[in-house]
Structure 1
């Protein structure tokens, strides 16, 4: 399938392919380049979110603080 590169160097993954791999909005893909063949490969990545069990209920401000700390760790 052929797609056009926009002026921002973006491409659209065709709907047929998105359906085949069940790609949803916000999911992550891995893009690699093969120096030998010159091929660009796009692969769906199944990222698992970290979970935390602390054994108690959290207040909204505690949840926000934990989210903020998690975002800082990912940068």
Structure 2
């Protein structure tokens, strides 16, 4: 997906709506900014399991969730 945006006079950049939706970005989310050669890379910061618990506010078997996360992380 390629989108275009402009830099404002305060050096702010708007992330296009289509990209925000695809990445499920929300107000107050944190992004990681890296420089690779002449490219600026923005990455969504992964949330901790505690932050996910707070956002969901539901009764979920967290042992299962944490075990699944461990399995996926070990495969990477």
Shared fold, TM over 0.5: yes
Instruction: Flag the structure with higher helix content.
Output: 2
Runs (5+) with no aligned partner, structure 2 = 51-76
Alpha-carbon distance between aligned partners in 1 of 2:49 and 2:11, rounded to the nearest angstrom: 29
Shift of 1:20: 0.4
Shift of 1:49: 7.5
Give me the CA root mean square deviation: 1.9
Describe how 1:43-54 pairs up with structure 2 within 5 A: 43-48=43-48
Describe how 1:21-40 pairs up with structure 2 within 5 A: 21-35=23-37, 38-40=38-40
TM-score, structure 1 as length reference: 0.58
Maintained 8 Å contact 1:28/1:47: no
Moved over 4 A (4+): none
Query: Structure 1 residues 30, 13: closer, same or farther in 2, change over 3 A?
Result: same
Q: Which residue of 2 aligns with 1:11?
A: 13
Shift of 1:2: 1.3
Alpha-carbon distance between aligned partners in 1 of 2:48 and 2:10, rounded to the nearest angstrom: 30
